[in-house]
Structure 1
Amino acid sequence: MDLKIALSGDLPARCSDALAALAPELGMVPAAEGVPVRGHRGAALAVCCDGASVTIEWAQPIQFYRALSLLPRPLAACDIREEPCFETVGMMFDTSRNAVLRPDTLRSFLRKMALMGMNLGMMYTEDTYEVPGQPYFGYQRGRYTYEELHALDDYADMLGIELCPCVQTLGHLNRALHWPAMRRLQDNDEVLLADSEETYSFLRQILTAASAPYRSKRIHIGMDEAHGVGMGAHLRLHGYEKPYDILRRHLKRVLDIVNELGLSPMMWSDMYFRLESPTNGYYDGPMPSQQAVDAVVPGVELVYWDYYHMREAEYDEQLKKHDALHAPTVFAGGIWTWCGPAPDYDKTRTATLAGLSACRKAGVPLVFATAWGDNGAEANLYTALLGMQMFAEFTYHGSFEDEWLAQRMRVCCQADARAFWDLTLFNHMEGMRSGEFRPVNAAKMLLYQ
């Protein structure tokens, strides 16, 4: 039976609209004769109930909605206090790999994020948004309209969630650059041509279009895995230059545009490490050299992404390498949805605990989860819900126990956590061992054989 509640006191803006959206998932109904629930703006998250009335303390709107999800059912006396160990905890939605989520699907994820207490949604859109004047950008790829993104941003804001754009401004642009009309912008098949005025005119168009639907001034400008930068058309036009020099010049031009638009940028950090790695890898190089430090342009946050390591000490080491770059660093972990039709939650749990523990110790202010759809987004994104719950519960508790995760999944997702854990069994086969950087993905191999 639904719990009737009567809200009063200090409440988040648009609280009645948010509660109308969340009530069916919470099993609550706003009613004048319901249990009194009084809001109070404070320093942290607290839920106090004497069995007949409830007081909720909240510092951010998102904490008020998480607090509603913490109320015991049936209603009983409680005194719950939670203080997040990160200022911001987010979820990045990969909508660029043949799985451009419909707006209603994204709204369902945003509602679950609100109940979990996650306050940042990140829309990873390589070319899946409309850009006026660029008809081939995202053509036949399910790109979002301005109106769709603006409505999503409004919905997220109602729930206390900041929604922000995530784009690419150097690499990862194969789907856009493969059109003959765009080839003048190519350094190679994946990478934009740095130092070309046509490139920066194009980037001004996409950055303007990408940021326009959102309230947030935060933007992720990508810049990762730009393999072969300076080795294609740039080499033919200008001769050989050190990739670090090209990266720095290009980033400065991108930041000029970002600053004109009044935006606050972040970027993936791997290119600062790959150029000195013996394998072009991200994690196996030395401490950054002076030329790597000199290539960092002030005014941009670095995003350290790591979904692979299983030991906290390894994350500690990578965070120290980032400290040497003298730029603010945030962290992206991974929910292993990219290994085939079924996710790998054994790797997800171990890597998430190790990575977030290191970030908590290092004082990293912002962490977010990724759930990539590499190779065609074979795994349904809803399989990532348990991983999202892990990130949320670690943020508010500094850990996540299986029993507590299961309880929270029932409330926030109306789902059985055991069923999510069991998805991992699709990839468990006797004699097969998971490597550090690769899972066992027997389900994929068997499906396609």
Structure 2
Amino acid sequence: MLSVKQRFHEYFVSDSGKDFQDAIKLLFVQSPLDKKVRRRIKVIVSDANLVTIYFSERIEAFLALGRLMVAAKNAPFGLVKSKQALIAAGMEFDINVTVEELGFKLDTSSRGVPAVERLQDLTISLSLYGYRTLFIYMEDTFVVENEPFFGYMQKRFTYEDFVALGKTAKSVGIEIIPSILLIDDIKSLIKWPIYSSILQAPPNNEEKYDLFHRVILAVSEPLESKRIHINVGEKTHEYFVQKVYAKCSKYLGNMQIDRECFNSEIQSYSAHLKRVVDISRSLNIVPAFYTDSIEICPKEQSINRVKFPEDCNVDVDTETFIQLNEALGDSEIEFIHRNYASEESAFDKKIKLLGSLVDDDTFLKQKRKWSICLSLWSWNRFWVALYWSVNMMESGFTAALKNNIKHVYITAWSHDGSEISMASVEAALAFFSELVHTKNEQSSRSDVMQRVDESFKVLFRRPASFSDMLVACALDQPSEFPVGWGITNLAKWLTWEDPLTAHLNPQLAETNLITHYRILTDNLDTKISQFLRQLRMQGSEFDGIEYHPLSFPAALARFLHRKLTFYRIFSIAYSNNDKKQMAKLIGRRVDGTKLSEVSVLEDLLLCLSSLHSLHHKIWMLEFDPLGWAQIESRYGVLKIRLESTRKLIFSYLQDESAAVRELKSYFFQKAKIHTVEVFALPLFTWSQAAFLGPTE
């Protein structure tokens, strides 16, 4: 409780004096856990100054405390408290516990390694939302004894970091579970010659197993972990499965395989997984695997990357699944179904199929625990696709309830620099908790949304409501689609693409995106101004407005408005050979003399500088400084390209042949990259941005 009091000091008073006498007392009563009885948290207002919380498990007490803190923040009573006033404030309630474990998985291996203090704050907020588990995904972002090049030149969690984090987490009822890769799948190791020989050896190399043992020990010992999540990556999968599948199917038609060949060849994969399990069990740690680690699909692509329904849905090689499951032995293992984009019906069908494959073996069935992992859609974005994520959370959790799965997790993946706003991640986490703890036959999305609006400001200490955070999702909203459907990662593409060789911008030239981003900027600025005005009316001030969760999306929308405006004016002026307009873009007259007003390009560069400065401040608050260079290099490239564009336009106005030739090359061919239907996905990738050929 001390950790909560320190983080939320304004909600608590000291244990003596007049403030203590007037304060509401909390009495926690723990009842024995009876698995035969449906678990329920019951909070009763006993009298005007006493609230009694009945709970079974430690994390339930913190969930109830979180609800009480939210009620206290919005309480209608004043100095005079009564039993009726406390009840009216929402301090008497029941919570039906529908899951045994609510967990969150955080990616720390994309340059964004959170500061330990921020992780400690996160665990406290998670506990008040009822999260029982925090998975920390780490490829090489931790120290391994006698391995100085493991995670070299980046932030690494030390033994002491893990001890401090584990202590805080344990105090609020949260278990920290390391999530790691097999040695072959840690891509960064290939940079260091010291690992060249071990990486060239087959996966079942003894030296490699020894390193894996020490890796598990490095993360589990200081955290006192009893479980570990082991990710089977692409390299391991390709070595053991894809080549075997190709070998045993290439002479047969209709995607059939030679079963005798396949059963023989796949045994090496079975032995490898069994060895990994044995290493974990030797340390008294229960391993967890994604189910697609032991699924075989009748396709040659990587089944370990099940992101879309067509990859590996219900078309699973059941015989091989049974074979691999049996080969893992009678050790306790957790299998995690993950679903990032499949429809509820398809996901439900797959869960039932895999569950049925172990039903016949009563002994092994008792040794396997099933769980579900969903995604927040934070990968390769500035802002979580909250609308899409809400849909996936609802369908995924419904599938869990249908199949009586009691362990439910949510993942925030990052990508190449961790540009995702952690405030938007927290908003999604708040929704998922309220969904899980509010879900019943009578509840609706609006009921859940109301609870999130009430709790998000309080438990994550963010000066914005969940509804405000939804508004910022328009960063990625194409104007052709209604808000809430298929929000892409559009803002990231438009931000970093080259100002002259832009390929996405021309596709959207005829849309209303310029107006869209101007309106979004105004809307977000208005919300921030309203917040500041309310504070001033209360006689308070807010230091560090740049840390308001809407400040970054507002700055980004402002920059995109300026950037799209520049490109529109520039492309039209060049096409019409309007040198006067081109000169005005860079603050010049056609004769080269300067204009007095700030030019469009100068304004764009100022916006870029402001965005860069703001992004840097937010990053340093959330993450370790070592990862910032990855993002700053993008700002540097964009700034140089904009400045060189200014010089190019000036040279073009002087009729310099080189400038004429260079500009002509940029506008020589216009190509259609993709159809607008691609925006129906929550993100699009480089492979989808393939040129379909020149347009008329």
* Cα distance in 1, alignment partners of residues 238 and 175 from structure 2: 34
Number of the residue aligned with 2:340: 307
* Letter matched to residue 308 of structure 1: A
Number of the residue aligned with 1:106: 119
- Deviation string, structure 1 residues 396-443 (Cα, Å, up to 9, x no partner): 22265211111121221233212221221100012369999x851110
Aligned residue for 1:355, secondary structure, equals helix
Matches within 5 A, 1:204-283: 204-225=213-234, 226-230=236-240, 244-277=266-299, 279-281=301-303, 282=306, 283=312
CA separation of 1:334/1:269 partners in 2, compared to 1, >3 Å: closer, same or farther?
same
Deviation, structure 1 residue 344:
0.6
CA separation of 1:364/1:232 partners in 2, compared to 1, >3 Å: closer, same or farther?
closer
* Cα distance in 2, alignment partners of residues 243 and 333 from structure 1: 32
Q: Does 1:318 align with 2:359?
A: no
CA separation of 1:165/1:337 partners in 2, compared to 1, >3 Å: closer, same or farther?
same
Contact 1:21 1:111 in 2 (8 A): no
Q: Does 1:414 align with 2:461?
A: yes
Contact 1:121 1:163 in 2 (8 A): yes
User: TM-score by structure 2 length?
Assistant: 0.57
Deviation, structure 1 residue 139:
0.8
* Cα distance in 1, alignment partners of residues 183 and 353 from structure 2: 23
Give the number of the structure whose residues are more often helix, by fraction: 2
Number of the residue aligned with 1:332: 373
Number of the residue aligned with 1:10: none
Equivalent pairs, count: 423
* Cα distance in 2, alignment partners of residues 304 and 433 from structure 1: 31
**Pairing partner for 1:53 from 42, 50, 55:** 50
Q: Does 1:397 align with 2:407?
A: no
Deviation, structure 1 residue 219:
0.8
Aligned residue for 1:374, secondary structure, equals coil
Deviation, structure 1 residue 231:
8.3
CA separation of 1:122/1:344 partners in 2, compared to 1, >3 Å: closer, same or farther?
same
Aligned residue for 2:164, secondary structure, equals helix
- Of all paired residues, the percent bearing the same amino acid is 22
User: TM-score by structure 1 length?
Assistant: 0.87
* Cα distance in 2, alignment partners of residues 194 and 397 from structure 1: 46
Contact 1:150 1:214 in 2 (8 A): yes
Q: Does 1:291 align with 2:324?
A: no
Matches within 5 A, 1:340-355: 340-355=381-396
Aligned residue for 2:99, secondary structure, equals coil
Farther-moved stretch of structure 1 (374-383 vs 269-278) = 269-278
Contact 1:224 1:267 in 2 (8 A): no
Contact 2:478 2:487 in 1 (8 A): no
Matches within 5 A, 1:45-84: 45-49=41-45, 50-71=47-68, 72-73=71-72, 74=75, 76-77=86-87, 78-84=91-97
CA separation of 1:232/1:346 partners in 2, compared to 1, >3 Å: closer, same or farther?
closer
Give the number of the structure whose residues are more often strand, by fraction: 1
Q: Does 1:23 align with 2:8?
A: yes
For structure 2, the 5+ residue unaligned runs are: 32-38, 78-85, 245-260, 307-311, 359-367, 498-696
- Deviation string, structure 1 residues 59-96 (Cα, Å, up to 9, x no partner): 12222122122222226124301022110001112111
CA separation of 1:391/1:246 partners in 2, compared to 1, >3 Å: closer, same or farther?
farther
If you compute each CA radius of gyration, which structure gives the higher value, 1 or 2? 2
* Cα distance in 1, alignment partners of residues 482 and 6 from structure 2: 44
Matches within 5 A, 1:178-189: 178-186=191-199
- Deviation string, structure 1 residues 221-249 (Cα, Å, up to 9, x no partner): 11244442248999xxxxx9877323211
Q: Does 1:428 align with 2:477?
A: yes
**Pairing partner for 2:146 from 127, 133, 143:** 133
* Cα distance in 2, alignment partners of residues 428 and 295 from structure 1: 43
* Cα distance in 2, alignment partners of residues 224 and 231 from structure 1: 12
For structure 1, the 5+ residue unaligned runs are: 1-14, 235-239
Q: Does 1:380 align with 2:376?
A: no
Deviation, structure 1 residue 198:
1.3
RMSD: 2.7
- Deviation string, structure 1 residues 339-381 (Cα, Å, up to 9, x no partner): 3212211110000100011101211121111100023211122
Contact 2:352 2:403 in 1 (8 A): no
- Deviation string, structure 1 residues 114-158 (Cα, Å, up to 9, x no partner): 211111111111111111121111111211101101110001001
* Letter matched to residue 258 of structure 1: S
- Deviation string, structure 1 residues 295-342 (Cα, Å, up to 9, x no partner): 121432111111112x32122112123214424321111111113212
* Letter matched to residue 422 of structure 1: V
Aligned residue for 1:255, secondary structure, equals helix
Aligned residue for 2:416, secondary structure, equals helix
The runs of 4+ residues in structure 1 deviating greater than 4 Å are 231-234, 240-243, 432-436
Contact 1:84 1:397 in 2 (8 A): no
* Cα distance in 2, alignment partners of residues 233 and 127 from structure 1: 27
CA separation of 1:395/1:227 partners in 2, compared to 1, >3 Å: closer, same or farther?
same
Aligned residue for 2:417, secondary structure, equals helix
Contact 1:393 1:405 in 2 (8 A): yes
Q: Does 1:92 align with 2:105?
A: yes
